[in-house]
Chains A and B, each alone.
Chain A
Amino acid sequence: MSKEERKNEGKNQYSIIIPTYNERLNIALIVYLIFKHLRDVDFEIIVVDDGSPDGTQDIVKQLQQVYGEDRVVGTAYIHGLKHASGNFVVIMDADLSHHPKYLPSFIKKQLETGASIVTGTRYVKGGGVHGWNLMRKLTSRGANVLAHTFLWPGVSDLTGSFRLYKKSVLEDIITSVVSKGYVFQMEMIVRASRKGYRIEEVPITFVDRVFGSSKLGGSEIVEYLKGLAYLLVTT
Chain B
Amino acid sequence: MKHIFKIISLLAAISAFWVGLLQASIIPRTHTWLLPIYLVVSLGCYGLLMVGVGLMQFPTCPQEAVLLQQDIAEAKGFLKDKGVDVGSD
Contacts and interface: CB of A to CB of B under 8 A. Distances in A.
Given A141-B54, A145-B50, A233-B4, A128 B83 contact: no
A198 B71 CA distance: 33
Contacts of B88: 24-25, 54
Contacts of A8: none
A138 B51 CA distance: 7
Interface stretch (A61-69, A76-84, A166-174, A181-189): A61-69
A205 to B, nearest CB: 4
A104 interface: no
B31 interface: no
A197 interface: no
Residue in B7, B62, B84 with the greatest tally of chain A CB atoms within 10 Å: B84
A134 to B, nearest CB: 8
Interface string A148-162: 011110000000000
A97 B26 CA distance: 58
Residue in A32, A137, A146, A233 with the greatest tally of chain B CB atoms within 10 Å: A32
Interface residues of B, number: 32
Report whether over half of chain B's contact residues are helix, strand or loop; otherwise say mixed: helix
A235 interface: yes
B70 to A, nearest CB: 11
Interface residues of A, number: 45
B79 interface: yes
Contacts of B7: 150, 232
Interface in B1-36: 2-4, 7
Interface string A108-134: 000000000000001111111111001
Contacts of B65: 130-131, 207
A29 interface: yes
Nearest to A232: B4
B85 to A, nearest CB: 6
Contacts of B78: 32
A28 interface: yes
Nearest to A233: B4
Contact of A128 (B3, B59, B68): B59
Nearest to B73: A29
A194 to B, nearest CB: 7
Interface of B: 2-4, 7, 43, 47, 50-51, 54-55, 58-62, 64-65, 68, 71-72, 74-76, 78-79, 82-86, 88-89
29 contacts: A25-B89, A28-B75, A29-B71, A29-B72, A32-B74, A33-B71, A33-B75, A62-B83, A62-B85, A63-B84, A65-B83, A66-B83, A96-B72, A123-B59, A124-B59, A126-B59, A129-B60, A130-B61, A130-B62, A134-B55, A141-B51, A144-B54, A149-B43, A149-B47, A152-B3, A194-B3, A207-B64, A207-B68, A235-B3
